[in-house]
Amino acid sequence: MKKLLLTGFEPFLDNPINPTEEIVKALNGKTIGNYEIVGHILPVDFSASAVKCNQLIDEVQPDAVISLGLAAGRSKITPERIAINCRDGAEDNKGVKLVDAPIEDVGPAGYFSTLPIRAFVDTLNEAGLPASISNTAGTYLCNNVMYSALHKIEKENLDIIAGFVHIPASHQLAVKNPRLPSWSSRDLQDAVVAMVKVL
């Protein structure tokens, strides 16, 4: 049996709920396809989230890593194509705000996802769950975690596929923040299960 490290994030900024948390808690310990799911929630904290994710890679020794993040305002499931060596934007949950800060002082400009993102999108669309590849994971925590995991895997020559998938708001979050397009929790979870089955 292979192992999948599945990460989500705690709530952040004006999102009192992070639907990735619910999905990761629901799937933790389950077996999906060839994978046993090991789920963990990461803090929205520039100094801690990537460190924690990379520690989990050492502890769990997964065959694959899928990190999930909320992209409030997107209406589709969006597997990310690339992470870039930049931190910039809103403040994190510790009040830290970074401007044009590299993630790694000596690191490549970007890393492509090593997950089968085209197959994810095709499978989801065939299942009636709207999805498209995103060409930017932004410059906030999600990009930071994706870049740092791929950097570790490259540097240490690990046999692990990894990448990031942004998901839309859940209906529960849209009740609190009514301008957001939203999905049912069931559909969000089904989409993540469908992507794991692709692996």
**Catalytic residue ranges:** 80, 142, 166
| Contact pick of 39, 63, 67, 69 for ligand PCA (by CB under 6 A) | 69
| x/- letters, 111..150, toward ligand PCA (CB under 6 A) | ---------------------------x-xxx--------
Token pair belonging to 173: 């979050």
The β-bridge partners of 38 are 5
Name which position in 4, 56, 71, 180 contacts ligand PCA (CB under 6 A). Answer: 71
Q: Does 78 bind ligand PCA (CB under 6 A)?
A: no
**Choice between 9 and 111, CB closer to ligand PCA:** 9
Tokens of 147: 């870049």
Tally: H helices and E strands in the chain = 6, 10
Contact 21, 11 (CB under 8 A): yes
Vertex 130 angle, CA 90 and 145, to 5°: 35
Q: Does 9 bind ligand PCA (CB under 6 A)?
A: yes
Residue closer to ligand PCA (CB basis): 56 or 63:
56
Half-sphere exposure of 63 (CA within 13 A, CB side): 9
Q: Is 169 in the site for ligand PCA (CB under 6 A)?
A: no
Give the x-and-dash track for 31-60 against ligand PCA (CB under 6 A): -------------x----------------
Question: Is 104 exposed, middle or buried, given 0-12, 13-18 or 19+ CB atoms closer than 10 A?
Answer: exposed
- Is residue 67 involved in binding ligand PCA (CB under 6 A)? no
Half-sphere exposure (Cβ direction) of 179: Cα atoms closer than 13 Å: 4
- Choose the binding region for ligand PCA from 51-59, 66-74, 152-160, 171-179 (rule: CB under 6 A): 66-74
Tokens of 197: 């089955």
Binding of ligand PCA by 20 (CB under 6 A): yes
Rounded to whole angstroms, the Cα distance separating 136 from 20 reads: 19
Residues that bind ligand PCA (CB under 6 A): 9, 12, 18, 20, 44, 69-71, 138, 140-142
